[in-house]
Amino acid sequence: MLRIAAIGLAYKRLMRNVREMSLISVKAFFADHAPDITVIVTEASSATVPLAAAAHGVEPDQIAKSICLRAGDETMIVVMAGTARLDNKKFRSRFGAKPRMLGGEDVVEMTGHPVGGVCPFGLASPLPVYCDVSLQRFDEVVPAAGDINAAVRISPSRMADLTGGVWIDVAQDIAVAETAQS
């Protein structure tokens, strides 16, 4: 029992270090590429879309959620509106494979960011970034910034420009998504 507690404590320390390094990498990214953008760190967690919307005073759809996926051999980040849902048919048509979400450890390894803080900025390894058109209805979106309580405010087009993001359409249509949630 003591050993399990020690492993749990070691894991918490490791994740705290990952979060600190992730936030540093995102701040460095913005210092190098967009010094006018400030990373906002809040006391409140923004690890989920509802928490992020509450912490930043925006609608949930205005949160730009980043999903780390694998399609065949390609690992990627897809950024989409907060309440948008991935449309498997559209995704498969675009990438030729079914989307598979990465597990938490793989996400940290590939992005350098903890789950809840995943973003397309300051990545640990180069990954293709795809921005879903669901973001284009907003002048400003709020993606995470490398930690569960960090974010930035940015226009969707600037986010795509800074990250080399490619615009795609892989979210469910609004009417389909609303029917699925009913």
In 3D space, the residue among 76, 51, 70 whose CA is nearest the CA of residue 144 turns out to be: 51
**What pTM was computed for the model?**
0.86
Judge whether 128 and 51 are in contact, CB under 8 Å.
no
Task: State residue 22's pLDDT score.
Answer: 81
pLDDT digits (tens, 9 = 90+) for 52-99: 999 999 999 999 999 999 999 999 999 999 999 999 999 999 999 999
End-to-end CA distance of the chain: 44
Fold of 2-181: YbaK protein (3.90.960)
Average pLDDT of the residues of the chain: 88
pLDDT score of 97: 96
Q: Which residues face 69 on adjacent strands?
A: 76, 101
Closest of 55, 58, 181, 75 to residue 116, by C-alpha: 55
pLDDT in tens, 8-33: 444 444 444 455 678 889 999 999 99
Break the chain into its structural domains and give their ranges.
2-181
The pLDDT tens digits for 99-122 are 999 998 899 999 999 888 999 999
**Dihedral class, residue 12 (left if φ above 0, else alpha if ψ from -120 to 50, else beta):** alpha
